[in-house]
Amino acid sequence: MTPSGENFPLLFAPLDVGPMRVPNRICETTNSIGAGAMPGFPDDAFIEHHVAKARGGTGWIGGETIVLDSPLPAEAADEFHPGAAAVRIPLYTFPGFVEANARFVEATHAAGAVAVFQLTHLNHTLAASATPIVEAYDWTPHELDEAGIEHVLETYAASAAQLVAAGADGIEIHCAHETLPQTFLSPALNHRTDRWGGDAAGRTLFVREILARVRSRIGQAAALGVRICASEQRQGGYTLLDMREMITIIAADGMLDFVNVDVGHSWGAPYVQPSYYEHAQFREVARAIRADVHPTPVLFAGRVNDPVVAEELLASGICDLVAMTRAGIADPDFARKAREGRLGEIRRCIGCNRCIGESIDQSVPAMFRKPVCSVNPVVGRELEWAARHRPASECKRVVVVGGGAAGLEVARVAAGRGHRVVVLERGKALGGQVNLAARAPGRDSFADFVYFEENELSRLGVDVRLGVEASVADVLALEPDAIACATGSVPRRPAIAGIDQPHVVQGWEVLAGTAKVGARVAVVSQEDHFETPNIADHLASAGHQVEIFHKWTMIGSRIDRYSIGPVMRRIADHSLPIHTGKRLTAVDGPQLTFVDAFNGTTHRYDGFDSVVLVYGSVPDDRCYRQLTAAQTDARLFLVGSAWVPRQLAEATRHGALVGLEI
């Protein structure tokens, strides 16, 4: 706070970016979370999701990217798979495009923010050269010819003109994240010998031509900028020094009003950095780029979830604007809370990447896909929430059994609506499984969720009782009107010969520090998310010699592609052997017997001091069953993992919906 009493004075100072006055430095950079039903056509759900952040104090609203049309041959199929959306449809020419986007812009302005639109060719069907991005895709794209380039250049100019007609304050040309312009910038991907390739001047020509075309079409009606990745982090790709040369050349044309910079790609070293990265880990690249393009404002993006960090980035000359994108997904009101000095009330993004993982999960049909956040149950359901979140008409007495994620959310939402809530937790702390997750290396930010819940429950006057192993009689003695059984789950124990020997322990016990584990450890897994690599990493980091046995072809197959890189890098750094396709059939002292999942052959491995099981969990619904049998008049709910063990987002959402229902 300044002597004048102002919180975060730099963060909340306005900034002129070309013709656009940004009310403060907090940016929702483009995040295609899929809030609306139809890409490119903001509907009520889309507007409510993104504009909620503007109402919550974010000054720059980036919305979701506009995918531009590609020059596909008449008979070629459109490509929609992740990272390769090559479509032939010029959405921006469709009837209603300008009107739908104008509604979004008006709502953004009414909430006090500016609307910046990103234009994207996210496209590896067509590229600068016929060079595959082998790290991410196993196909070779088609090299754009002159006619194709001309088609693409025109899409940028025409779509920008439509968006300016809709009232856009800013237009951002997406040149990072394996987009078509980045394939031109990249020496690893651009092998052209014509004017669009070669040295830095040649490789930047495509981007410079886009900017010139757009500028000639929109004039000074909107700010114009680029999103760049400062360092490609790919074998043979451009380095920070190369990018400094390229951005200097691009800026010299005088077309740029802003530069939005991040680091990373869509695999291995992700630009949506998960919890394994430091906050603003790549901050120094922004300082370098800022020096090159001065006085053009620079926006930095990369795991900034705390206003204190954002203020420090501005104060130390790293950047002029700060992306706090997932910060706004986790808590759309974080900026207002920061300005009002209510830092303890901010629900921080924990860097789990469920949001982006879900948004590109093609296994879920688009019509069923909704935005998801592990800690914010409202995301993707803003309209439903606005309609249903009402003060309770009658103050009820609510007992929540279990203080894990689901129980905490029942308590928070019910208390927020005016009910009197008691939480009974048998452990010494709130948080349940979240506390276990937070003990794995690189996952400590999960504890931020528990910190938020503790603060909120205390602020809302919830009666939290720790160390209480609640019996049915204890619960009923509180004379509840509603009871939420959020008793979580317990590790699954498979029926395998020899499993009851003392050296066979559960992964959760390892994380909790309650299991005695010997020097040489077999981690035996039938789990596909973070638990297996996290537990193996935890053990290896503590000096154990670890081998992983997994039921299928790979571990972590359900981990999103923006998190799998740092997770597997840690496994590789420890040089942990992974035996795939192995299912445990017997434990005989130090000897383990497995059957091969594919050909049924038997395999024996010897010499293990400990066996750590990672087999997922089963619901612990005993409390619910006993209360049902007691035929209480109270309304009974079975919530979260006690119903079905899933992930954190499902637990928080289930709990919050029960809190709404009471």
Ligand X SMILES: Cc1cc2nc3c(=O)[nH]c(=O)nc-3n(C[C@H](O)[C@H](O)[C@H](O)COP(=O)(O)O)c2cc1C
* Contact residues for ligand X, defined by CB under 6 A: 29-33, 65, 118, 174, 177, 227, 262, 271-272, 301-304, 323-327, 355-356, 359
Q: Which stretch binds ligand SF4 (CB under 6 A): 97-105, 127-135, 347-355, 540-548?
A: 347-355
Burial classification of residue 515, based on how many CB atoms lie within 10 Å of its CB (0-12 exposed, 13-18 middle, 19 or more buried): middle
How near is the Cβ of 353 to ligand SF4 at its closest, in Å?
5
Q: Which two tokens stand for residue 541?
A: 């980091």
Rounded to the nearest whole angstrom, what is the least distance from the CB of residue 75 to ligand X in the complex? 29
Does residue 98 touch ligand SF4 according to CB under 6 A? no
CB-count burial class (<10 Å; 0-12, 13-18, 19+) for 46: buried
DSSP 542: T
Choose the contact partner of 29 out of ligand X, ligand SF4, none; CB within 5 to 8 A by kind.
Answer: ligand X
The CB-of-258 to ligand X minimum distance in angstroms stands at 14
Q: Which of 480, 451, 465 is CA-nearest to residue 375? A: 451
HEC string of 40-63? Answer: CCCCHHHHHHHHHHHHCCCCEECC
Instruction: Tell me the CA distances in angstroms from 540 to 58, 517, 536, 544, 555, one per residue in order.
Output: 42, 11, 6, 5, 16
d(CA 207, CA 184): 8
What is the three-class DSSP state of 537?
Answer: helix
Minimum Å distance from CB 334 to ligand SF4?
11
Report the nearest approach of ligand SF4 to the CB of residue 356 (Å). Answer: 7
Taking CB under 6 A as the criterion, the residue among 55, 354, 419, 443 binding ligand SF4 is: 354
Partner interacting with residue 354 (select from ligand SF4, ligand X, none; CB below 5-8 Å by kind)? ligand SF4
CB of 373 to ligand SF4, least distance (A): 3
Cβ-based nearer residue to ligand SF4, 373 or 406: 373
Residue 266, interface with ligand SF4 (CB under 6 A)? no
Q: How far is the CB of 306 from ligand SF4 (least distance, A)?
A: 12
375 binds, among ligand X, ligand SF4, none (CB under 5 to 8 A by kind): ligand SF4
Given the complex with ligand X, which of 425 and 560 has the nearer CB atom?
Answer: 560
Nearer to ligand SF4, 45 or 522 (CB): 45
Binder among 350, 410, 464, 505 for ligand SF4 (CB under 6 A)? 350
**167-186: which residues touch ligand SF4 (CB under 6 A)?**
none
273: contact with ligand SF4 by CB under 6 A: no
- The residue (of 190 and 353) whose beta carbon lies closer to ligand SF4 is 353
Of the pair 46, 637, the CB lying nearest ligand SF4 is at: 46
Start-to-end CA span in the chain (Å):
40
CB 275 within 8 A of CB 444: yes
Q: Which residues pair with 546 in a beta bridge?
A: 521
* Minimum distance, C-beta of residue 67 to ligand X, in the bound complex (Å): 9
Residue 653 makes contact with ligand SF4 by CB under 6 A? no
Cβ closer to ligand X: 303 or 561? 303
Stretch that binds ligand SF4, among 1-9, 80-88, 368-376, 595-603 (CB under 6 A): 368-376
Residues in the chain: 662
31 binds, among ligand X, ligand SF4, none (CB under 5 to 8 A by kind): ligand X
CA 134 to CA 544: how far, in whole Å? 34
45 CB contacts (<8 Å, ≥6 apart)?
Answer: 35, 36, 37, 380, 382, 383
430 binds, among ligand SF4, ligand X, none (CB under 5 to 8 A by kind): none
Which are the contacts of 524, defined by CB distance < 8 A and separation ≥ 6? 549, 584, 592, 611, 612, 613, 614, 615
From the list ligand X, ligand SF4, none, which binds 330 (C-beta under 5 to 8 Å, kind-based)?
Answer: ligand SF4
For ligand SF4, the binding residue among 355, 505, 522, 587 (CB under 6 A) is 355
Q: What's the rounded Cα separation, in Å, for the pair 380 and 649?
A: 12
Q: Which stretch binds ligand SF4 (CB under 6 A): 370-378, 390-398, 417-425, 434-442?
A: 370-378
Residue 304 binds which entry of ligand SF4, ligand X, none, CB below 5-8 Å type-dependent: ligand X
Restricting to residues 301-340, name those near ligand SF4 by CB under 6 A.
326, 329-330
257/560 with CB nearer ligand X: 560
Which of 29, 353, 506, 534 binds ligand SF4 (CB under 6 A)? It is: 353
Contact 547, 592 (CB under 8 A): no
- The sign of the dihedral angle between the CA atoms of 131, 136, 138, 139 is negative
For the bound state, the minimum distance from the C-beta of residue 652 to ligand SF4, rounded and expressed in Å, comes to 10
CA torsion angle 618 622 625 629 (round to 10): 160
Tokens at 542, concatenated: 């503590």
CB of 302 to ligand SF4, least distance (A): 13
In the bound complex, what is the minimum distance in angstroms from residue 360's beta carbon to ligand X?
8
Phi and psi at 378, nearest 5°, equal -80, -25
The string of DSSP letters for 248-302 reads HHHHHTS--SEEEEE--BSSSSBSS--TTSPTTTTHHHHHHHHHHHTTS-EEE-S
- 373 counts as binding ligand SF4 under rule CB under 6 A: yes
Which residues are paired to 586 by β-bridges? 497, 593
The nearer residue to ligand X, 174 or 419, going by C-beta atoms, is 174
Amino acid sitting at position 304: V
24 binds, among ligand SF4, ligand X, none (CB under 5 to 8 A by kind): none
Residues that bind ligand SF4 (CB under 6 A): 326, 329-330, 349-355, 373-375
